Structure 1
Amino acid sequence: MPALSGDRPAAEPSGLIAAVEQAFEPDGWLAQAAEQFRPREGQRRMAIAVAETIAEGGVLVAEAGTGVGKTYSYLVPALLSGERVLFSTATKTLQDQLFSRDLPRLVQALGLPLRTALLKGRGSYLCLQRLEVARQTDAGGDRSIQRVLAKVETWAQATRTGDLAELPGLDERSPALPLITSTRENCLGAKCPQFRACHINTARRDALAADVVVINHHLFFADLAVRESGMAELLPTVRVAIFDEAHQLNETGVQFLGLQLGSGQLLDFARDVLATGLQQARGLADWPRHAADVERAARELRMSAGDAYAGSKLRWTGLQPEGVDPEGWSGALAAIDSGLEAMQAALDTVSELAPDFVRLFERAAELRRRAALFAQASAPGAVRWADVTASQLRLVESPLDIAQAVRERLLGMKTQPVADAEETPPYSDDDEDDMASLQAGWPSGDTARAAAAQEGERPRAWIFTSATLGTDERLSWFTEPCGLQDARILRVDSPFDYARQAAVFVPPQLPRPADAGHALQLARLVAPAVATLGGRTLVLTTTLRALRTIGEALQQHFGERGAVEVLVQGQGTKRMLLDRFREGDSQGRAGCVLVASASFWEGVDVPGEALQLVVIDKLPFPPPNDPLVEARAQRLEQSGRSAFNSYFVPEAAVALKQGAGRLIRREDDRGILLVGDTRLTGMPYGKRLLAGLPPMRRLHDQAEFEEALAELAALRPPESAGPDAETAADFFDW
Structure 2
Amino acid sequence: MTDSAVAWPGSHAEPGEGVPAVPMQSLSELARNAFVPGGVLSRAAEAFRPRGGQTEMAIAVARTIEQGGALVVEAGTGVGKTFSYLVPALLSGERVLISTATKTLQDQLFGRDLPRLAEALGLPVRMALLKGRGSYLCLHRMELARQDGSFPDRSALRTLAKVEEWAQATRTGDLAEMTGLDERSPVLPYITSTRDNCLGSDCPKFRQCHVNAARREALAAEVVVINHHLFFADLAVRESGMAELLPTVRVVIFDEAHQLNETGVQFLGRQVGTGQVLDFARDMLGAGLQFARGLVDWQLLAGATERAARDLRLTMGRLPPGSRVRWSDVAPEGVHEETWNDALAQLAAALEQAAEGLGTVSEMAPDFVRLHERALTLHRSLHAFTREPAEGAVRWVDAGNQLRLVESPLDIAQAVQQKLLKQGEDHDAEANRRSWIFTSATLGDDARLSWFTEPCGLEEAEVLRVASPFDYPSQASLYVPRRFPRPNEAGHSGAVAALAERAAQRLGGRTMVLTTTLRALRAIGEQLQERFAGSLELEILVQGQWPKRRLIERFREGASDGRPGCVLVASASFWEGVDVPGEALEMVIIDKLPFPPPGDPLVEARSQRLEAQGRSSFNDYSIPEAAVALKQGAGRLIRRETDRGLLVVCDTRLVSMGYGRRLLGALPPMRRLNDEAEFEQALEELAARPQ
What's the TM-score bracket when you normalise by the shorter of the two chains?
A: over 0.9
What displacement does 1:235 show? 2.4
Matches within 5 A, 1:478-627: 478-627=452-601
What displacement does 1:552 show? 1.6
Q: Which sits farther off after the overlay, 29-38 or 692-701?
A: 29-38
1:638 and 1:50, CA in 2 relative to 1: closer, same or farther beyond 3 A?
same
Three-state SS of the structure 2 residue aligned to 1:214 is strand
Residue in 2 aligned with 1:419? Answer: none
Residue in 2 aligned with 1:60? Answer: 71
> Which whole-Å CA distance do the structure 2 matches of 1:206 and 1:32 have between them?
28
> Which whole-Å CA distance do the structure 2 matches of 1:393 and 1:35 have between them?
51
Letter in 2 for 1:40: R
Residue in 2 aligned with 1:36? Answer: 47
What displacement does 1:310 show? 4.7
Residue in 2 aligned with 1:642? Answer: 616
Residue in 1 aligned with 2:421? Answer: 411
1:557 and 1:12, CA in 2 relative to 1: closer, same or farther beyond 3 A?
farther
Q: Which sits farther off after the overlay, 216-225 or 352-361?
A: 352-361
What displacement does 1:548 show? 1.3
> Which whole-Å CA distance do the structure 2 matches of 1:660 and 1:377 have between them?
42
Residue in 2 aligned with 1:163? Answer: 174
1:139 and 1:703, CA in 2 relative to 1: closer, same or farther beyond 3 A?
same
Aligned pair partner of 1:16 in 23, 27, 33: 27
> Which whole-Å CA distance do the structure 2 matches of 1:13 and 1:181 have between them?
49
Is 2:407 the partner of 1:397? yes
> Which whole-Å CA distance do the structure 2 matches of 1:350 and 1:547 have between them?
51
Residue in 1 aligned with 2:685? Answer: 711
Contact 2:315 2:340 in 1 (8 A): yes
Contact 1:12 1:55 in 2 (8 A): no
Residue in 2 aligned with 1:688? Answer: 662
What displacement does 1:652 show? 0.2
> Which whole-Å CA distance do the structure 2 matches of 1:62 and 1:184 have between them?
34
> Which whole-Å CA distance do the structure 1 matches of 2:413 and 2:628 have between them?
19
Contact 1:260 1:396 in 2 (8 A): yes
> Which whole-Å CA distance do the structure 1 matches of 2:24 and 2:247 have between them?
21
> Which whole-Å CA distance do the structure 2 matches of 1:171 and 1:109 have between them?
36
Residue in 2 aligned with 1:656? Answer: 630
What displacement does 1:591 show? 1.1
What displacement does 1:12 show? 10
Aligned residues: 675
Three-state SS of the structure 1 residue aligned to 2:539 is strand
Letter in 2 for 1:65: G
What TM-score do you get using the length of structure 1 for normalisation? 0.90
> Which whole-Å CA distance do the structure 1 matches of 2:261 and 2:208 have between them?
36
1:446 and 1:185, CA in 2 relative to 1: closer, same or farther beyond 3 A?
farther
What displacement does 1:137 show? 2.5
Q: Deviations over 1:570-589 (max 9, x none)?
A: 11111111111111123343
Contact 1:139 1:146 in 2 (8 A): no
Contact 1:118 1:214 in 2 (8 A): yes
Three-state SS of the structure 2 residue aligned to 1:331 is helix
Three-state SS of the structure 2 residue aligned to 1:644 is helix
Aligned pair partner of 2:308 in 297, 309, 319: 297
Three-state SS of the structure 2 residue aligned to 1:525 is helix
What displacement does 1:292 show? 1.5
Three-state SS of the structure 2 residue aligned to 1:559 is coil
Letter in 2 for 1:68: V
> Which whole-Å CA distance do the structure 1 matches of 2:143 and 2:101 have between them?
32
The sequence identity of aligned pairs, in percent, is 68
> Which whole-Å CA distance do the structure 2 matches of 1:473 and 1:154 have between them?
54
Aligned pair partner of 1:387 in 398, 401, 408: 398
> Which whole-Å CA distance do the structure 2 matches of 1:653 and 1:77 have between them?
31
Is 2:259 the partner of 1:248? yes
What displacement does 1:97 show? 1.0
Contiguous gaps of at least 5 residues in structure 2: 1-8, 14-21
> Which whole-Å CA distance do the structure 1 matches of 2:36 and 2:320 have between them?
59
> Which whole-Å CA distance do the structure 1 matches of 2:299 and 2:554 have between them?
47
1:32 and 1:571, CA in 2 relative to 1: closer, same or farther beyond 3 A?
closer
Aligned pair partner of 2:385 in 367, 370, 374: 374
Letter in 1 for 2:457: G
Residue in 1 aligned with 2:189? Answer: 178
Aligned pair partner of 1:346 in 324, 336, 357: 357
What displacement does 1:287 show? 1.2
What displacement does 1:13 show? 8.8
What displacement does 1:448 show? 3.5
Q: Deviations over 1:140-190 (max 9, x none)?
A: 362121111101000000000000001111111111100000011111111
Is 2:646 the partner of 1:675? no
Is 2:276 the partner of 1:276? no
What displacement does 1:706 show? 0.5
Three-state SS of the structure 1 residue aligned to 2:226 is strand
> Which whole-Å CA distance do the structure 1 matches of 2:528 and 2:451 have between them?
36
Letter in 1 for 2:33: Q
Contact 2:44 2:116 in 1 (8 A): no
Contact 1:382 1:399 in 2 (8 A): yes
> Which whole-Å CA distance do the structure 2 matches of 1:12 and 1:63 have between them?
33
> Which whole-Å CA distance do the structure 1 matches of 2:115 and 2:148 have between them?
42
Letter in 2 for 1:522: V
What displacement does 1:138 show? 5.2
Q: Which sits farther off after the overlay, 200-209 or 636-645?
A: 200-209
1:169 and 1:474, CA in 2 relative to 1: closer, same or farther beyond 3 A?
same
> Which whole-Å CA distance do the structure 1 matches of 2:295 and 2:330 have between them?
39
Contact 2:416 2:457 in 1 (8 A): yes
> Which whole-Å CA distance do the structure 2 matches of 1:503 and 1:602 have between them?
20
What TM-score do you get using the length of structure 2 for normalisation? 0.95
1:308 and 1:70, CA in 2 relative to 1: closer, same or farther beyond 3 A?
closer
Contact 1:34 1:109 in 2 (8 A): no
> Which whole-Å CA distance do the structure 1 matches of 2:96 and 2:477 have between them?
40
1:312 and 1:364, CA in 2 relative to 1: closer, same or farther beyond 3 A?
same
Q: Which sits farther off after the overlay, 320-329 or 602-611?
A: 320-329
Contact 2:234 2:243 in 1 (8 A): no
Residue in 1 aligned with 2:343? Answer: 332
> Which whole-Å CA distance do the structure 1 matches of 2:342 and 2:661 have between them?
53
What displacement does 1:557 show? 2.0
Contact 1:62 1:466 in 2 (8 A): yes
Residue in 2 aligned with 1:147? Answer: 158
> Which whole-Å CA distance do the structure 2 matches of 1:231 and 1:580 have between them?
37
Matches within 5 A, 1:206-285: 206-285=217-296
What displacement does 1:559 show? 2.9
Letter in 1 for 2:390: A
